[in-house]
Structure 1
Amino acid sequence: MQIRPFAPADTEAVVALWHECGLTRPWNDPHRDIERKLAVQPELFLVGTELVQPVDRTGSPEEVLVATAMAGHEGHRGWLWYVAVAPGHRGGGRARQIVAEAERLLLEAGCPKVQLMVRSGNDTAEATWGSLGYEPSDVVVYGKRLIED
């Protein structure tokens, strides 16, 4: 998998991947989330791509978007959002690879720690993050919408 910064041409493939992975919610417009990220630390919005041979094997391999990760920080704490790997591409270390790159970029920026949120009951995500060295924190997260999507 090749990891690179998000490009605007990736938008529809990214949104489709997020839908496929169950990361979207009716109250969060993924297109607006992308626009917002591009306004703040856009270099920390990563995509993972792979060259895939067409099924009929008659054409050239195509670049297919298979993973995403958004990262950001305010100097004290980094965050990860929208970490996704296409279901048909899971199990090959792609999540580990894109998370490691996001962590590298955060560390390079002087960010001392990174956190993320997992929705309650998402046992698969909890197991994945545990295997990547992340531990649950004893905190309660509060939120308040300032802009309705």
Structure 2
Amino acid sequence: MKIRPFQTADRNAVIRLWDECGLLRPWNDPDRDIERKLGVQPELFLVGIDAEQNVIATAMVGFDGHRGWVNYLAVAADKRRLSLGRQLMNEAERLLTARGCPKLNLQVRTGNLDVLEFYRKLGYVQDDVISLGKRLIHDRAPE
């Protein structure tokens, strides 16, 4: 897998991958999420491509000056267990460390035990915090 920044031509393949991986939610518009990311640190929106230039993995990385974050980590189902997620996370950590980022945070949906185990194997531990959120811009009408 080659890792490179997102390119405009990747959009449909990225959204398809996110959908296949179960990352999309009715209240988030993936096109808007992509546009927002392209406005802030677009070089940290990573895609993994195979030899045929197909998008097979993604990671949306960011650094706010205090903490790094990773969202939309996705690997195509037929490419799992090949360490592609590990490669993306290693690259995210490398890019964040180069920016002086002292800590990387991420969120995993409750009950997603396989993903929790994946991150534990990479050295991530559960912080003693409660994640809170407040929608400021509604991409789609609440259901």
Coarse TM-score class (shorter-chain normalised): over 0.9
Correspondence for 1:139? 129
Matched residues in 2 for 1:103 and 1:12: separation?
26
Once the two structures are TM-superposed, the CA of residue 75 in structure 1 deviates from its matched residue by: 1.2
Please identify runs of 4+ aligned residues in structure 1 that moved more than 3 A.
none
Matched residues in 2 for 1:74 and 1:112: separation?
11
Amino acid at match of 2:17: L
Normalised by the length of structure 1, the TM-score is 0.92
Ranges in structure 1 where 5+ consecutive residues have no aligned partner: 52-61
For the pair 1:38 / 2:38, whether they are aligned, the reply is yes
Please list, as runs of the form range in 1=range in 2, the aligned pairs for 1:63-142 lying within 5 A after superposition: 63-142=53-132
Ranges in structure 2 where 5+ consecutive residues have no aligned partner: none
Larger radius of gyration between Structure 1 and Structure 2: 1
Q: Deviations over 1:95-125 (max 9, x none)?
A: 0001110111101011111010000000011
Matched residue SS, 2:14:
helix
Matched residues in 1 for 2:16 and 2:34: separation?
13
Correspondence for 1:48? 48
RMSD over equivalenced CA pairs, Å: 0.6
Matched residues in 2 for 1:126 and 1:102: separation?
18
Amino acid at match of 2:14: V
Matched residue SS, 2:53:
strand
Matched residues in 2 for 1:67 and 1:11: separation?
12
Matched residues in 1 for 2:34 and 2:79: separation?
23
Normalised by the length of structure 2, the TM-score is 0.96
Matched residues in 2 for 1:119 and 1:97: separation?
21
Matched residue SS, 2:57:
strand
Provide the identity percentage: 58
Matched residue SS, 1:36:
helix
Once the two structures are TM-superposed, the CA of residue 82 in structure 1 deviates from its matched residue by: 0.3
For the pair 1:2 / 2:2, whether they are aligned, the reply is yes
Matched residues in 2 for 1:28 and 1:121: separation?
20
Once the two structures are TM-superposed, the CA of residue 72 in structure 1 deviates from its matched residue by: 0.5
Q: Deviations over 1:29-81 (max 9, x none)?
A: 01100000000000100000001xxxxxxxxxx21111000111111110000
